[in-house]
Every structure is written in structure tokens, then in C-alpha cells.
Structure 1
Amino acid sequence: MKEKSLESQNSCFVFGGGTRLCPGKELGIVEISSFLHYFVTRYRWEEMGGDKLMVFPRVFAPKGFHLRISPY
């Protein structure tokens, strides 16, 4: 019976799972959450025209959605 090596598997586990769980998963999530909170609350967001957002069946702007982001 052949043993499977890790190099021969074409799988991608971003944070892994089971015994291969990434020890930095929670730290990464906290860092991204902190950055997003800072970015959203410390800057002024203004719509600059473009398309209106369509919300059904998913949120998207067919011709783009332009924003001006400036510090408070």
C-alpha cells in the first residue's frame, strides 16, 4: 500500500483543520477585525456618484461604486 505524502496533495487549507489547525487563526481574525473597525470608524466615507447599489439577490453595483475616503 502506498503512503500519501503531503507534497502530492493539491489541497489548500487556509487555517487547516483537525490536527493541522493553525495556531495563529484567532490572532489573524482579531487583527483583521481591529483594522476594519479602525478603518471604518476613523474615516469619513462619501458616495461620489456612480451606480446605486442593487441589493437583490446580492449586493453589487453594475457600473461601479465610487467612494471618497477622508480622515475626520
Structure 2
Amino acid sequence: FINGTEKVRYVQRLMYNREEYARFDSDVGRYEGFNPYGEIQAQYWNSVPEYMEQQRTSVDWFCGHNYKISTPFLVER
């Protein structure tokens, strides 16, 4: 979502043993895999419509909520 002049996006990075294997980016709207395991997981998650709808709206319900709480501490200092 856009708040003032700032565009807010939700990025979920999935890691194992310090290696990123998959990522969801609200600007892209789907999971991307970065190794064979991550590609399998991303393909599965992207095939579940209800789960993907929840992830795509997370920028509103997760980021929006946390942005409102964090703004006084992070932006207005």
C-alpha cells in the first residue's frame, strides 16, 4: 500500500542454514524458489489459491498494522 510518498511492501524470506530457499514479495505476488527444495515449495504454495490470497493481502493486514504502530518510533524521530 502507499502511505504518503512511501510505498510499503511485504517480503517473506524463508531460510535454512543461512541460505534463502524461497521468497514471497507482495510486489511480485507469488513465491519464488532459489534452490531445488525452494522451487518445489514455491510451486506448491503458488498452487493453493486460498493461501496465496492471504499472502497477497498481507501487505494490508500485516504491514499496515505494524506501520501504524512503528511510525512514531521510526519515522518521526
| TM-score bin, normalised by smaller chain | 0.3 to 0.5
* Bigger Cα Rg: 1
TM-score of the superposed pair, with normalisation by structure 2: 0.31
More helix by share: 2
TM-score of the superposed pair, with normalisation by structure 1: 0.33
